[in-house]
Amino acid sequence: MGQVILGDINSSMLKVGRGKRRNLGRVGNIEYVQMNAEALPFPDNSFDLITIAFGLRNVTNKDKALRSMYRILKPGGRLLVLEFSKPEQEILSKAYDFYSFNILPKMGELVANDSESYQYLAESIRMHPDQETLKGMMEDAGFEQTSYQNLTGGIVALHRGFKY
């Protein structure tokens, strides 16, 4: 059985994740590590698989983070990046923008009493590179056989890259 390491730059997020798993009765072989994606604290060629879901857009230097991920992957290893992206069709893009900037912050205010976090979410999604740009960034970091699959019309995309 392999080992799983869950990481986040924010120690509070790690505590929340650990608590949720414990409440579900799942502890297993998981290690929680506070880390910065731009300087991952692991030796070269250590991991078979790295996944990051809805987190890359929050990294300040995405190029540096992708190079750090590449460094710690073993040859033959794979990176999977699940992230908000750019809708494929103009009409979907306009509807999504309206939802993101008008409805989502209001829902955040009503449900969580926090419209600012939901406004930030919408803004961070728009500033994140589109599918082709992120694919190119992964290639620049050294990844090969890069590809992506659009989900929900491109609102979300799953990027893949390999280290050989």
Per-domain boundaries in the chain: 4-86+129-162, 87-127
Listed residue (90, 87, 89, 68) closest to 79, CA to CA: 68
The CATH fold assigned to 4-86+129-162 is Rossmann fold (3.40.50)
pLDDT category at 1 given cuts 50, 70, 90 is low
Classify 25 in phi/psi space as left (phi over 0), alpha (psi -120 to 50) or beta: left
Instruction: Note the pLDDT tens digit of each residue in 107-132.
Output: 999 999 999 998 898 999 999 999 99
pTM: 0.91
Spatial separation of the C-alpha atoms in residues 139 and 39, rounded to whole Å: 19
Output the six-digit token pair for 132: 């082709």
Decide if 67 contacts 79 (C-beta within 8 A): no
Q: What is the DSSP letter of 102?
A: I
The residues pairing with 155 across neighbouring beta strands, listed in sequence order, are none
